[in-house]
Amino acid sequence: MSIILTPEQERFIQAKLQTGKYRNAQELLEIAFRLLDKYEHADTEWINSVRTKIDAAITTSEQTPPIDGKTLVNQILEHFQQVREAQE
């Protein structure tokens, strides 16, 4: 396989090699691929976590009677008032 790098990518690799931290471009690519794999794995875990939370919220909402907007706002305001009074 051959890979064509942009001039910016070549400069980036050369700059990293000049630090002496890496032995060669192959080592840099191995690290980059490992990080990409971790990033994609973390992204997949996050998506699955969000889906699980959404499913739980849907299940809860299906088991909870609906509430009108005015009642909801009043409950929120009452909660804030209770918190404020507890802090005083």
| Residue in 41, 37, 16, 12 with CA at minimum distance from that of residue 27 | 16
Rg (CA), the chain: 26
Q: Are 40 and 48 spatial neighbours (Cβ–Cβ below 8 Å)?
A: no
Q: What is the spatial distance between Cα 40 and Cα 33, in angstroms, rounded to a whole number?
A: 10
| Residue in 48, 68, 45, 46 with CA at minimum distance from that of residue 56 | 48
pLDDT tens figures, 15-44: 999 999 999 999 999 999 999 999 999 999
What's the pLDDT at 88? 85
Q: Any idea where the domains of the chain sit in the sequence?
A: 7-87
